[in-house]
Amino acid sequence: MAIDISTRTRKDLLIHLSLVISLFLAAFLGFFFVYLPWSTNHGQSITVPDLRKMNLDDVRSALDERRLDYVVSDCTFVPGVAPYTVLSQYPFPNSLVKEGRNIYLTVTMGTAPMIRMPDLIGNGLRSAQSYLRSVGLAEGTIRYIPDIAENAILEQWYNGRKIEPGTQLPKGSRIDLVVGNGIGNTELDVPSLIGLSQEEAEIYIKGSDLRVGTVLYKTVPGAKPGTVVEQRPAANSGVKVHVGEIIDIWIAGTPDNDTGEGKIEDQP
C-alpha cells in the first residue's frame, strides 16, 4: 500500500523536509559512529612490544599473541651478535597500533660478509689499527719483537698463521700484529744453521733476537731431508746483522705434505 505524503500545504512541506533531514542525519551518524568504528576496529589499539635483542623465532611468537606481523626491512652484520637478532624496530616499543599492523625490523645477518685482508706491513701501528677498523676487521694481540723500525708492522697473522694481503676473511675477524720495538741497533754475528732441522733452526733464530724469513725447499744430494742446507746471510762471512733482522733458510727435501707449508725453490 503506497503512502501518499501531501505537500500541498506549508505544514505538509515542513513535515516532508523534516523526514528527509532525519533520514540523512540517521545515515550520517550511523556511518561515522557505528559502521566506521566497527570496520576500523576503533578503540582496539595494541601496544607494540620491545623486540630488540630478540631472535626472529621469539619475535614471531610475541607478535602472534598480539595479532601483529613483522617485515625485515634491513640486514646488517655486527660482530659478536647472534644471527637474526633484532637491532631496531619501527613502530618503536610501547607505540599504539591497530591489529594486523606490520612492525619493520632491522636484524643481524646470518653470515658475515667477506673482507679482503689489507697489506699492513711497514705501516705504523696506529695507522694499521685505524685501517683494520675502517675495513671491518678487528685488532687481535700485539706482539713486539726486536727491530730498528719502532712501532712498524712487521707481520700480520690470523688464526695462528701469517695472512697474505688480499686473502678473503669474514668481517670482524681478529688480526694479530707483530710490531718492531725500535731496539734493533745491536749487531750480531750471523748464526750457523747448516745441518740443523727446520724446527731447531727457527728456535735458534728467534733465540738470537732475529726473525725467520723465507723458508724454501731444494733437493741436495746426500743431505738429510728436513735439515738446513743453505742460509742467507751465510754464517762466517764476516757479515753482521742487527737485532730483529731476517734470516732466510733452505731446507733439504720437499714441503710438508700434511700442512702444505713452504715452497720449492725455482730451479735455474
Q: How confident is the model at residue 176 (pLDDT cuts 50, 70, 90)?
A: very high
DSSP code string of 57-120: HHHHHHHHHTT-EEEEEEEE--TTS-TTBEEEEESPTT-EE-TT-EEEEEEE-SSPPEEEPP--
Q: How confident is the model at residue 26 (pLDDT cuts 50, 70, 90)?
A: confident
| pLDDT tens-place string over residues 198-228 | 999 999 998 888 889 999 999 999 999 999 9
Q: Looking at the predicted structure, is the pLDDT value of residue 70 above 80?
A: yes
Q: Which fold has domain 114-180?
A: Trypsin Inhibitor V; Chain A (3.30.10)
Q: What is the pLDDT of residue 1?
A: 44
Q: What is the pLDDT of residue 36?
A: 59
Give dist(CA 241, CA 219) in Å, integer: 28
**Region for residue 166 given its phi and psi (left: phi exceeds 0; alpha: psi -120 to 50; beta: otherwise):** left
Percent of the chain with pLDDT over 90: 53
Q: Looking at the predicted structure, is the pLDDT value of residue 260 above 70?
A: no
Q: Looking at the predicted structure, is the pLDDT value of residue 174 above 80?
A: yes
| For residues 187-196, average pLDDT | 90
Which residues sit opposite 35 in a β-bridge?
Answer: none
Instruction: Name the nearest CA neighbour of 119 among 147, 153, 80, 149.
Output: 153
Write out the H or E segment, with its range, that includes residue 250: strand 246-252
Q: How confident is the model at residue 6 (pLDDT cuts 50, 70, 90)?
A: low
Instruction: Give the residue ranges of DSSP H helices in the chain.
Output: 10-30, 36-39, 56-65, 125-135, 198-207
- Out of 1.10.10.10, 3.30.10.20, 3.40.50.10860, 3.40.640.10, the CATH code matching 46-108 is 3.30.10.20
| For residues 96-107, average pLDDT | 92
Q: How confident is the model at residue 258 (pLDDT cuts 50, 70, 90)?
A: very low
| pLDDT tens-place string over residues 121-137 | 999 999 999 999 999 99
* Domain map (residue ranges) of the chain: 46-108, 114-180, 187-264
Whether residue 87 contacts residue 52, with contact meaning beta carbons closer than 8 Å, is answered with yes
| For residues 25-43, average pLDDT | 62
| For residues 46-65, average pLDDT | 92
Q: What is the pLDDT of residue 203?
A: 93
Give dist(CA 133, CA 174) in Å, integer: 10
Whether the domain at 114-180 and the domain at 187-264 fall into the same CATH topology: yes
Q: Which CATH architecture has domain 187-264?
A: 2-Layer Sandwich (3.30)
Q: How confident is the model at residue 254 (pLDDT cuts 50, 70, 90)?
A: confident
Q: What is the pLDDT of residue 185?
A: 64
pTM: 0.49
Higher pLDDT, 60 or 15: 60
Q: What is the pLDDT of residue 268?
A: 45
Whether residue 14 contacts residue 21, with contact meaning beta carbons closer than 8 Å, is answered with no
Q: What is the pLDDT of residue 142?
A: 94
